[in-house]
Amino acid sequence: MVDDTREMPEPPADPVDPADADGVLRLLEVERAPEGTYGTLEPATPPLIDGQGRVRLSFSRIDSYRNCPRRFRYDYIDRLPRVPSPHLSFGSSIHRALEAFYDRKLPDCPTEEELLGLLYDSWETTGFRELPREEQIGFYRHAQDVLRRFHRRAAPTYRLPAATEAWFELPIGYEAVVVGSIDRIDADDDGALHVIDYKTNRKAKDRARVAGSLQLAIYALACRHLFGRLPATVSLDFVVPGVEVRVELDELDLDATRETILETAQAIREERFEPTPNRLCDWCDHRAICPAWPQDGSESLGEAVAELRRRRREAARQVRELREMEAGVARLASEVGAASTADGRSGDTR
C-alpha cells in the first residue's frame, strides 16, 4: 500500500539566496580567493571555450542563445546569479526520481510506493524555500500524483533501459562540442534504440513540434556518437499530463541541427550578444539590467558585478598561464641541472 502520509523533506537550514542584494554579495564573498591562493580563482563551471578551442555548448546553452543572445551572455559568460525557481526544482526532482526508477539493475518494476520513496529521496528544496509551507506541500503532492500516473503507464511494459542519464560530449566539426545527458535510452530485442526525454510542462506538444525539437535531434546525434547507430525513434515524455509523443528518426532534420550548432558557436565566438526582447522577458532574471528595458538604476550594480566576474576570469586565465610557465621553467632547470651533473661525472672519468 502506498504511504500517503510520508512527510515532505525539510529544506536545508540557512539557505543562501542569490536573488537579493545580500545574496549577490554573499555569492561574491564565497568566490573571493583567499590571499596567496590561486586555485580558488578557477571558474566554478567549465569554460565556454574548451582546451581544443571548441565552443562548448549544450542544448540549454544553444536554446538560451537562440532565444536571446544577451540573456545567454548574462547566464553563461557573466554568470550572473539566477533566481531559483519552484518549477525548475520540481522538474529536477521528477527527473532524479525517474532516473533512480530505471537505474536499479533489477528486471522487476519497482512498486509505486518505491517510486514515491525515490521522489522523497530526490526532492530538491532550493526553488521552494521562498514559498509558504502549504504551497511547498502542494508542489510535493502534485509530484506524487504525477509519478503515480507515470507508474500506471510504465509498469505494464517496464524493462531495464540501455542507459539512463547517458552523458555525451559530441564534437561538431572542429568548431564546437555539445555536451549533455540523455534521460533514457531504451533498446528493443532487435537492438533498435529509442531516445526518451522527460518534460514537466503542463501541456504536451503536438507531433510537429516534437519532430522539430532541436534537443531531440541533438540527442539522436549523441546516440550515434555513444552507441554507433542512430535511434529508431525519439520522444518527449510529458509526465505531467502523462503523454509520450514519439516520432520516427526520418522526421528529424539532422543536417539543419548541425548547421544550427555551428552557427550558434560562430556567433558566440564573434561575441554577438544583442538583447532580443521576446515572450520570455517577463521571466528573465536579468530584465532589471537589460538595455532593452527601461531601467530603475539597478543596472549599474548588475553591470559592475558582470565586469568583476569578467576580470576575475581573465585573472584566472593569466594565473593558469603563469603556472604553466613556472612548471616549464622548473622542468627546464632540472634538465639543465641533470645535464651539468652528467657532464661533471663524465669529466671525472676522463
Q: Does 91 bind ligand SF4 (CB under 6 A)?
A: no
Q: Which range binds ligand SF4 by CB under 6 A, 13-21, 199-207, 224-232, 276-284?
A: 276-284
The 291-330 contact track toward ligand SF4, x by CB under 6 A, reads -xx-------------------------------------
Of 148, 287, 309, 312, the one binding ligand SF4 (CB under 6 A) is: 287
Of 24, 28, 243, 281, the one binding ligand SF4 (CB under 6 A) is: 281
Of 131, 155, 256, 280, the one binding ligand SF4 (CB under 6 A) is: 280
Q: Where are the alpha helices (DSSP H) in the chain?
A: 21-31, 59-67, 69-72, 86-101, 112-122, 133-154, 207-211, 214-227, 254-269, 299-349
Query: In one letter, which amino acid is 247?
Result: V
The 183-212 contact track toward ligand SF4, x by CB under 6 A, reads ------------------------------
Of 284, 305, 306, 316, the one binding ligand SF4 (CB under 6 A) is: 284
339 grid coordinates: 645535464
Q: How far is CA 227 from CA 140, 166, 237, 253, in A?
A: 36, 11, 22, 20
Residues 6+ apart with CB under 8 A from 71: 64, 275, 284, 286, 290
Of 56, 70, 194, 313, the one binding ligand SF4 (CB under 6 A) is: 70
Of 55, 68, 154, 162, the one binding ligand SF4 (CB under 6 A) is: 68
The nearest distance, CB 283 to ligand SF4, in angstroms, is 8
Site for ligand SF4 in 123-162 (CB under 6 A): none
Residues 6+ apart with CB under 8 A from 221: 170, 178, 230, 254, 257, 258
In the beta sheet, which residues pair with residue 56? 177
70 grid coordinates: 544577451
The nearest distance, CB 206 to ligand SF4, in angstroms, is 26
127 phi and psi angles, rounded to 5 deg: -80, -5
In the beta sheet, which residues pair with residue 196? 184, 235
Q: Does 286 bind ligand SF4 (CB under 6 A)?
A: yes
- The three-point CA angle 235-237-240 to 5° equals 160
Q: Which range binds ligand SF4 by CB under 6 A, 80-88, 221-229, 240-248, 281-289?
A: 281-289
State the residues that interact with ligand SF4 by CB under 6 A.
Answer: 68, 70-71, 275-278, 280-281, 284, 286-287, 290, 292-293
